[in-house]
Amino acid sequence: MDTCEKLEKCPFYQGKMSMESGLGRMYKRRYCEGDKLQCARYQIATTVGPEFVNNNIYPNMHDIAEKIIAENKK
């Protein structure tokens, strides 16, 4: 898969989580370099807009992503 085009500017990694830490590295490999379409943050940003992506949302928070998308679908 292709690396996510949002990786370098993703607020999640800009002070929230180090991409080199154990958990950060796992998220990066699975979602950013793996299947970005499975990333909760990416789903929200591309469906309802990046302004709805709270910095506290982790890539694996699919339930929260579904709720935000359902509440804000354009």
Q: Answer for the pair 7, 32: CB distance below 8 angstroms, yes or no.
A: yes
pLDDT at 1 over 70: no
Domain assignment of residue 67, yes or no: yes
Cβ(40)–Cβ(61) under 8 Å?
Answer: yes
The pLDDT assigned to 39 comes to 96
Question: What's the gap between Cα 32 and its chain centre?
Answer: 8
Q: Is 27 within the bounds of a domain?
A: yes
The pLDDT value given to residue 9: 87
**Tokens 């996510």 sit at which residue?**
4
Record the pTM.
0.87
CB 46 within 8 Å of CB 21: no
pLDDT of residue 62: 97
Q: Give how many domains the chain has, as a whole number.
A: 1
The tens digit of pLDDT for each residue in 4-58 reads 998 888 888 876 677 777 888 899 899 999 999 999 999 999 999 999 998 889 9
pLDDT of residue 19: 75
Domain holding 66, by residue range, is 7-72
